[in-house]
Amino acid sequence: MRVDLVSEAQHESLVDLLCELHAYYNDGAEIARELVREHLTANLLAPGSFQRLVVAQDESGTVIGLAAISLVYSLVDFSPDQSRHCQLKELYVRSSHRSHGAGRALMAWVARYATRHGCARIDWPVKASNLRGIAFYESLGAKRVIERLGYRLSEPGLSQLAGCAEHDETLQSSKSLA
């Protein structure tokens, strides 16, 4: 098994994996490969993208797992040895290749990358229902962050709040002109 940043030669195999990932999060729903390919090249791998995609490939060159990471700076801890950390957005291994070391190899690669880039920690979300994933993370020595909760704002609340913000900005502009 080989683990490294994704190369152009791996894009089609990565599209296959991303389609499986989509089905995993969307109750088996299929998605058009072209849509996934376009998202991969136009967004995830676009010049200037803050995300890095790390892939594990088997002996045949097939992508069997991925980790999506970004390096971020803390807004609350300014000490040089604690201010930078690695954010793991996603870790996914093909269902047919789980429990064979790909997840551990991906996480070890990410840990090396993080330490080489001055990161003091790696943070990531995990679905509360992903008991197998939670057990895996704990087997790596990861600790659950008890004091943090995840939140999401999506439609229609997102647009409603954005409309409120636009309304507030209009009011502020009107007051400053008066």
Burial class (CB in 10 A: 0-12, 13-18, 19+), 120: middle
Q: Is the pTM of this model over 0.75?
A: yes
Average pLDDT over residues 18-39: 95
How far is 132 from 1, CA to CA, in rounded Å? 22
Q: Which residue has the tokens 């040089």?
A: 80
Place 37 in a pLDDT band, splitting at 50, 70 and 90.
Answer: very high
Angle at 75 between CA 71 and CA 76, to 5 degrees: 125
> Which tens digit of pLDDT belongs to each residue from 44-86?
999 999 999 999 999 999 999 999 999 998 888 777 777 799 9
Where do the domains of the chain lie? 2-149
Query: In the block, which residue shows the tokens 């683990």?
Result: 3
Q: Is the pLDDT of residue 169 over 90?
A: no
As a whole number, the mean pLDDT across the chain is 91
How far is it, in rounded angstroms, from Cα 149 to Cα 140?
A: 22
Q: Confidence class of residue 177 from pLDDT cuts 50, 70 and 90?
A: low
Mean pLDDT of 87-105: 96
- 8 A C-beta contact, residue 73 and residue 83: yes
- 74: helix, strand or coil: coil
- Predicted confidence at residue 168, as pLDDT, reads 56
Q: 115 is written with which tokens? A: 């330490």
**Quick one: tokens of 57?**
């490939």
Helix (H, G, I), strand (E, B), or coil: what is residue 44?
helix
Reported as a pLDDT band with limits 50, 70 and 90, residue 150 is: confident
Name the β-bridge partners of 2. Answer: 57
Structure tokens at 153: 């704002």
Q: Can you tell me the distance from the alpha carbon of 54 to that of 102, in angstroms, rounded to the nearest whole number?
A: 12
CATH of 2-149, one of 3.40.50.300, 3.90.1150.10, 3.40.630.30, 3.30.70.100: 3.40.630.30
Residue 167 has pLDDT above 60, yes or no: no
